[in-house]
Structure 1
Amino acid sequence: MVALLTPLTAPVEPVDALRRIAFLLERTRAGTYRVEAFRKAVKTLREVDEDELRERADAGTLQEIPGIGKSTSGVIAEALAGDVPDYLASLQERAGGPLVDGGEDLYAALRGDCHLHSDWSDGGSPVDEMVLTAVETGHDWMVLTDHSPQLRVANGLSVERLRQQLKVVDGVNRSLAGHITVLKGIEVDILDDGSLDQTDEMLGRLDLVTASVHSKLRMNAEPMTRRMVAAVSNPRVNVLGHCTGRLVEGSRGTRPQSEFDARAVFEACAEHDTAVEINSRPERCDPPDELVTLALEIGCLFSIDSDAHAPGQLDMKAYGCERAERLGVPAERVVTTWDVDRVREWAAPA
């Protein structure tokens, strides 16, 4: 069951305080620069001996450690003194509650996430930090879906880099057995002709594939429809990601939705058991309400996903749950409420 994190209380370890601050900043979409200061400090502290840390706190020289600044040194010093740092206490009070009113029952029913990124592509944190945060927030399973090669701006994974990442996932699963299952996945680009931007051999080694359009979003409706229908009909594809490609707010500005025959695409999804993603990122809010309703009427499965690019963004599924619950999407039609064995069985090519 996915749930809100319980607020930290004294005493709190400095690393835990810094991680929680970063998490809370990420879930409320704070600026990247602010978040990076705390994530960088976490990485630094893990390399510093505790005795040295306490000596520097007593001497007032914490900021002499590379990667530790004014704000992070204050948090460290207060934590070492046995207190909840003031900055953390303030954040927990104003940013630790639900992100949105509504959808609480569906949010609590979630067990996994089919779309999230690490620093192997354009995410901001390593795999182990994404996984640890998923464990802390009650996920039973998650699918690591870094980008595919064509999306160079996002450092998409070549065949060789994807092979290396799969070994990392194996290691994580060995070390965290019984706590969470990390499924092997990818967010694969849907190419102009509807083919997929990764080799068949590598796609065959994955547990689950989320497929999305990232290029030529203004393609005419007829070829865009053929492109999407071909992709969702591919037995390797399990989830259709952010299907309209729209942006409704945020630092990247806005972008209109792609034009395609949504009925034809969703009928192909229903026929081939491909889930329609309800992308929970506020800047996407994709698909729009009327298309969620259409997919529901046609009989599609859904996947409520975070599309997280940072640990705190895993919580953004709350936005998707609010929309799904308000629009009448039943929990049993949401694959991210299923247990991992059912997800594996569903995602396996027929």
Structure 2
Amino acid sequence: MIDGLDDAELDRRIRTRTLTDLKGIGPKTGTAIVQAHRGEVPEYLAGLEEKHAELVPLADDVAGFRALLRGDLHSHSDWSDGGSPIREMAEAARGLGHEYLALTDHSPRLTVANGLTAARLERQLDVVAELNEELAPFRILTGIECDINLDGTLDQTDELLERVDVVVASVHSDLRAERTVMTERMLAAVANPYTDVLGHCTGRLVIGRTQRNGTQRPRPESDFDAEAVFRACVEHGTAVEINSRPERLDPPLRLLSLAVELGCEFAIDTDAHAPGQLDWQSNGCERAVETGVPAERVINTRPAEELLERIRTSG
């Protein structure tokens, strides 16, 4: 947003204190912009640098694994609950060295996340097609994070699921369902020929979202027969997502080790809702290295055409 302003307009907005009238710029961001424009290190950045001064570079094995990833198969834009336009997400991914980024905004059932109706998803497909002409050879893969309904069906029409490149199927509701019920629900979704990736399979939050009273409440894992679900993933060619969001880190290490043992394929994804979050893949790579995930079983180590061919033939 700020890059689109010339110097005179930026100076005017700082002088008149109207930076926060611009979309996506709140008080904290506005303050950081003003301080940076004055040539200062923003106080917010200085605080973060002090707080996280102990961070160390990635271990060589993790960095090496990260370098093998050619793209990210789970991301969101401001068409659903992300904070940035599709172009900004794509340009950020390209800046990280990615060859592709799957745009997987939410399906309509998740109204709290502004899920895409069939009509809105169709419009998004047209937008992505236009952007791909401009951004080539980088490629935005069309996709959707599809809610797994209570009966295990997917929350979008078969016609549209057929048209998109990548379908991430995730449980977002009734996370405390009884073990047998949740298992059957997930097995049905994994067996669906349109499901390519099983997203954040346990639904846990190791860092809870902030409540109204300011507290953070973690969310426990859903209870299901992980061995049965992972065996079904192998049978139906559905990749298990290694979700790299710091508050998710899903699946837990014990289940990730089980999935490795059973022969699953994986997708190391960020579930990014903002451009800066696309750099979180290192979290997933660290967990992959720790549990012995073979790089050749991570589907987003493959070039786009090879990945899409794998998706077409595994359904």
TM over 0.5: yes
Conservation of the 8 A alpha-carbon contact between 2:190 and 2:198: yes
- 2:284 counterpart residue number: 320
AA of the residue aligned to 2:41: D
| TM-score for the superposition, normalised by structure 2 | 0.87
Percent of aligned positions with the same letter in both sequences? 51
- 1:38 counterpart residue number: none
- 1:285 counterpart residue number: 249
How many Å apart are 1:74 and its aligned residue?
2.9
Partners of 1:346 and 1:173 in 2: CA distance: 21
Instruction: Tell whether 2:298 aligns with 1:298.
Output: no
Structure 1: which 4+ aligned runs deviate by more than 4 Å? 88-102
Partners of 2:56 and 2:282 in 1: CA distance: 8
Q: 1:257 to 1:92 in 2, by over 3 A?
A: closer
- 1:110 counterpart residue number: 69
- 2:27 counterpart residue number: none
AA of the residue aligned to 1:256: P
- 2:6 counterpart residue number: 49
Partners of 1:236 and 1:267 in 2: CA distance: 18
Match runs of 1:19-98 below 5 Å:
43-46=1-4, 48-50=5-7, 52-53=8-9, 56=11, 62-64=14-16, 66-67=18-19, 69-78=30-39, 85-87=40-42
How many Å apart are 1:251 and its aligned residue?
2.8
Q: Deviations over 1:309-339 (max 9, x none)?
A: 1111111111110011011101111112111
Partners of 2:221 and 2:91 in 1: CA distance: 34
- 2:24 counterpart residue number: none
- 1:345 counterpart residue number: 309
- 1:24 counterpart residue number: none
- 2:226 counterpart residue number: 262
Partners of 1:99 and 1:249 in 2: CA distance: 23
Conservation of the 8 A alpha-carbon contact between 2:107 and 2:145: yes
How many Å apart are 1:44 and its aligned residue?
4.7
Match runs of 1:126-137 below 5 Å:
126-137=85-96
Secondary structure of the 1:276 match is strand
How many Å apart are 1:87 and its aligned residue?
3.2
User: How many residue pairs were aligned?
Assistant: 295
Instruction: Tell whether 2:134 aligns with 1:182.
Output: no
Task: Identify which of 220, 224, 237 aligns with 2:182.
Answer: 224
Q: Which consecutive residues of structure 2, in runs of 5 or more, have no partner in the other structure? A: 21-29, 211-216
How many Å apart are 1:291 and its aligned residue?
0.7
Partners of 2:172 and 2:9 in 1: CA distance: 46
Q: Deviations over 1:226-275 (max 9, x none)?
A: 11111111110000000011111143421111111111111110001100
Secondary structure of the 1:139 match is coil
Conservation of the 8 A alpha-carbon contact between 1:209 and 1:236: yes
- 2:151 counterpart residue number: 193
How many Å apart are 1:98 and its aligned residue?
6.2
AA of the residue aligned to 1:230: A
Q: Deviations over 1:166-193 (max 9, x none)?
A: 1111111010012x11100000000011
Q: Which consecutive residues of structure 1, in runs of 5 or more, have no partner in the other structure? A: 1-42, 79-84
Q: 1:193 to 1:112 in 2, by over 3 A?
A: same
**More strand, by proportion:** 2
Q: 1:287 to 1:177 in 2, by over 3 A?
A: same
Match runs of 1:137-156 below 5 Å:
137-156=96-115
